A = this chain, B = another copy of it.
Amino acid sequence: MIYMCLGAPGAYIPPNFKKESGDFVIGVDHGTIVFRNHGIKVDLAIGDFDSLDEEELAYLNEIDEVISLPREKDDTDTEAALKWILAQGLEGEITIFGAFGGRLDHSVSILWLGYHPILEQIVDRVNFVQKDSFLKFYFPGIHEIRDERHWRYLSFILLTPISNLSLSGVKYELPGVDVARPRAYISNEFVEDKMTLAFQTGRIAMIQAADDHRF
């Protein structure tokens, strides 16, 4: 299993998370420090590290492999990390913490990974895990999605026009419709322990989310 942590403030690492033998842990930019602060040894740190202070930068010297990216670049740090995983031939699921919840433009740029060509090569492997939300990208096909988290809300974010979209096993079903523009179908709900998402063309982001904490 591959674990990555990005640099969102308040980045969430599940309290029971433990690095097992065979796991590969990647700190992306400030995510490196998040892992350190949780006592988790990072195998690779990658980023431009421009948000790290002096003491944090010194910590990079203790890491076996560090890839320093230029600040101005075509790919985001996250895309560079995923390309590195593909280039090295590292197999297995990729769980990404700390993607959302920080600066609005940062969060959006992670969601925009959904439009990046690299996604075609890794879409089945990548899970974004937050404290109160879980995101996964889907390409055309028939997908069974399980209600593993038992959170209330299940949302489908259409990144593109979509043909023959059907949702079954949910509170608000869709029978196989063509959707001409990107739309956000939010606040659906599981009615059983699994549901089926099917579509023929386009890309979709699925989000499972817990209720807002009231303020």
Contacts and interface: CB of A to CB of B under 8 A. Distances in A.
Contacts of A111: 108
A35 to B, nearest CB: 14
Interface in A93-150: 100-109, 111-112, 115-117, 130, 132-133, 135
Interface in A67-82: 72, 76
Contact of A187 (B102, B105, B157, B209): B105
A30 to B, nearest CB: 9
Chain A interface size, as a band, is: 35 or more
A103 B182 contact: no
Nearest to A210: B103
A115 B213 contact: no
A212 B102 contact: yes
A84 interface: no
A92 interface: no
Interface of A: 8-11, 51, 72, 76, 100-109, 111-112, 115-117, 130, 132-133, 135, 153, 155, 157, 159, 172, 181-184, 186-187, 205, 207, 209-215
| 6 A-B pairs with least C-beta separation | A105-B155, A109-B184, A112-B184, A104-B133, A105-B207, A115-B182
